[in-house]
């Protein structure tokens, strides 16, 4: 049975090109709509291992975009919204500028491949967003603690950072995460020197300084 596609006049986004039935490769990607999942998909496209078709990735991005537009989204997520929107739009534009309607009527969208360099660029944009969000928190900590702030281990890498504050007997590890349209930090507090697990917290970025200040108190008064 031929795969038939048609254009909807005046439609936008993923609706610009519609299929009468889902071709192979258009299956739902079973990943949560988060920046971390977006990174997984972009890395898979760069590896070119065939795990996900570019069509499936573009469709997932459009679904992620619709959720961000529909829900009350944290302003910190706007750069991520722009990335998934660009992927969705560029997919449609690539089809429109590369193939005729007759060509599209006889081909599987799952076989269409976007230029590899585009995925590398989108992944770089996502990495810069992660670095920028964490950098704002690090700047706030440095402004408060001055030279008492010290990066720990590898410092800030790939959506995560770790640090200690001189004279505090703990080390903080922070992982950037997103839930229900909000940017959150998963924070783990451990003893310094390492050995004891003290606390695990899930907070908004603006609450990180207050969490750290909890450990300026005597250990018997820690949360």
Task: Say if residue 153 is in the same domain as residue 76.
Answer: no
Task: Say if residue 26 is in the same domain as residue 110.
Answer: yes
C-beta of residue 67 within 8 angstroms of C-beta of residue 85: no
Task: Say if residue 80 is in the same domain as residue 148.
Answer: no
Residues 10-19 have pLDDT tens digits of 344 443 444 3
Task: Say if residue 11 is in the same domain as residue 94.
Answer: yes
Task: Say if residue 110 is in the same domain as residue 182.
Answer: no
Residue 121 lies in a domain: no
Task: Say if residue 42 is in the same domain as residue 75.
Answer: yes
**Which residues of the chain, if any, have pLDDT below 70?**
1-27, 155, 180
Report the domain count for the chain: 2
- Is the pTM for the entire model greater than 0.85? no
- Final residue of a domain: which of 114, 143, 175? 114
The reported pLDDT for the residue numbered 26 is: 53
The reported pLDDT for the residue numbered 28 is: 77
Residue 125 lies in a domain: no
Residue 32 lies in a domain: yes
Which phi-psi region, left, alpha or beta, contains residue 176 (left: φ > 0; alpha: ψ -120 to 50)? beta
Angle (CA) 192-195-201 rounded to 5° is 75
Inter-helix orientation angle 35-47/54-70, to 10°: 160
What single string gives the DSSP state of each residue in 42-101?
HHHHHHT-SSS-HHHHHHHHHHHHHHHHHS---GGGHHHHHHHHHHHHHHHHHHHHH--H
- Final residue of a domain: which of 48, 82, 114? 114
Domain residue limits at 11: 5-114
Task: Say if residue 109 is in the same domain as residue 140.
Answer: no
């Amino acid at each position: 049975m031929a795969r038939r596609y048609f254009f909807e006049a005046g439609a936008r986004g993923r609706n610009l090109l519609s299929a009468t039935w889902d071709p192979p490769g258009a299956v739902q990607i079973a990943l949560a709509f988060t920046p971390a999942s977006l990174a997984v998909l972009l890395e898979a496209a760069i590896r070119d291992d065939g795990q996900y078709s570019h069509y499936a990735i573009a469709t997932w991005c459009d679904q992620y975009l619709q959720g961000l537009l529909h829900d009350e989204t944290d302003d910190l997520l706007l750069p991520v919204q722009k990335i998934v929107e660009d992927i969705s739009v560029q997919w449609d534009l690539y089809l429109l500028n590369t193939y005729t309607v007759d060509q599209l009527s006889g081909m599987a969208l799952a076989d269409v491949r976007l230029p590899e360099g585009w995925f590398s660029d989108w992944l770089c944009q996502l990495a810069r967003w992660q670095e920028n969000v964490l950098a704002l928190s690090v700047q706030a900590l440095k402004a408060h603690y001055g030279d008492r702030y010290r990066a720990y281990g590898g410092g800030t890498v790939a959506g995560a950072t770790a640090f200690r504050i001189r004279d505090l007997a703990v080390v903080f590890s922070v992982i950037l995460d997103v839930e229900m349209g909000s940017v959150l930090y998963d924070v783990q507090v451990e003893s310094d020197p390492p050995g004891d697990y003290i606390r695990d917290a899930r907070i908004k970025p603006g609450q990180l300084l207050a969490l750290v200040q909890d450990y300026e108190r005597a250990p018997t008064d820690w949360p």
